């Protein structure tokens, strides 16, 4: 869903080319940002600190200003998730607390409330900003998951599960990618 690449010549497949789909990263072309590109600030200047609150809020503001989107999901790899967790800073804790958390699973900004989701499929130097109401994974016509029995022998029952699903992105401009965030 995130990194899929559809063949340019025949995306629906053939007898020699399997069917594939274009993923979210390749579907977003309008809102592709990087720190210091004129839309986003430079970040803190060090390669490992390029994703900070100023950069994230600038990207959320840019999508909000250019579309009717409501970004509600931020999808990042583990490295960028740790950068978002560092937004918490030194908040301390109360004497009755039994746990100390330095974790951000929901990020609230002036431009909306976003769930922060970690995914291994997102490249480590990128962050996806998605409007989840405009992304779906529907089955292809007549191809939702189903069981198809095959020829059986003896007491065993043989069959296969068949299904094909695809990515449906509505209003490509309602989503964004922040790229070139650097690694430590």
Q: What is the pLDDT of residues 157-178, one digit of tens each?
A: 899 999 988 889 889 999 999 9
Residue 150 covered by a domain: no
Residue 149 covered by a domain: no
- The whole-number pLDDT of residue 98 equals 58
Residue 128 covered by a domain: yes
pTM score: 0.81
Residue 22 covered by a domain: no
- pLDDT score of 8 more than 90: no
Banded model confidence at residue 147, pLDDT cuts 50, 70, 90: very high
Banded model confidence at residue 11, pLDDT cuts 50, 70, 90: low
Residue 133 backbone dihedrals phi, psi, to 5 degrees: -75, -10
Residue 65 covered by a domain: yes
- The whole-number pLDDT of residue 164 equals 87
pLDDT in tens, 43-83: 665 555 688 889 999 999 999 999 888 999 999 999 999 88
Task: Assign residue 136 the CATH number of its domain.
Answer: 3.30.2320
Calculate mean pLDDT across residues 92-114.
75
Residue 166 backbone dihedrals phi, psi, to 5 degrees: -140, 165
Give the domain extent around 74. 29-89+97-140+168-178
* Contact call for residues 139 and 145 (beta carbons, < 8 A): yes
Residue 133 covered by a domain: yes
* Mean pLDDT (the chain, rounded): 85
**Higher-confidence residue: 30 or 19?**
30
Residue 132 covered by a domain: yes
How many domains is the chain built from?
1
Q: Which of 126, 132, 38, 29 is nearest to 81 (CA)?
A: 126
Residue 14 covered by a domain: no
Longest Cα–Cα distance of the chain, Å, equals 69
* Contact call for residues 154 and 105 (beta carbons, < 8 A): no
- The whole-number pLDDT of residue 156 equals 86
**Higher-confidence residue: 73 or 19?**
73
Rounded Cα–Cα distance for residues 12 and 117 (Å): 30
């Amino acid at each position: 869903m995130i990194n899929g690449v559809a063949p340019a010549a025949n995306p629906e497949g053939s007898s020699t080319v399997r069917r594939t789909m274009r993923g979210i990263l390749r579907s977003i072309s309008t809102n592709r940002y990087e720190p210091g590109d004129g839309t986003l600030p430079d970040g803190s200047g060090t390669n490992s600190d390029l994703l900070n609150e100023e950069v994230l809020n600038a990207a959320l503001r840019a999508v909000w200003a250019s579309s009717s989107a409501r970004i509600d999901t931020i999808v990042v790899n583990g490295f960028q998730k740790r950068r978002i967790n560092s937004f918490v800073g030194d908040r301390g804790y109360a004497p009755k607390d039994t746990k100390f958390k330095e974790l951000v699973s929901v990020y609230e900004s002036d431009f909306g409330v976003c769930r922060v989701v970690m995914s291994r499929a997102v490249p480590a130097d990128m962050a996806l900003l998605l409007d989840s109401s405009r992304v779906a994974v529907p089955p292809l016509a007549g191809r939702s998951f189903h069981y198809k029995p095959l020829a059986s022998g003896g007491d065993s029952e043989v069959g296969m599960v068949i299904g094909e699903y695809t990515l449906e992105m509505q209003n490509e401009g309602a989503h964004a990618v922040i790229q070139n965030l650097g690694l430590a």
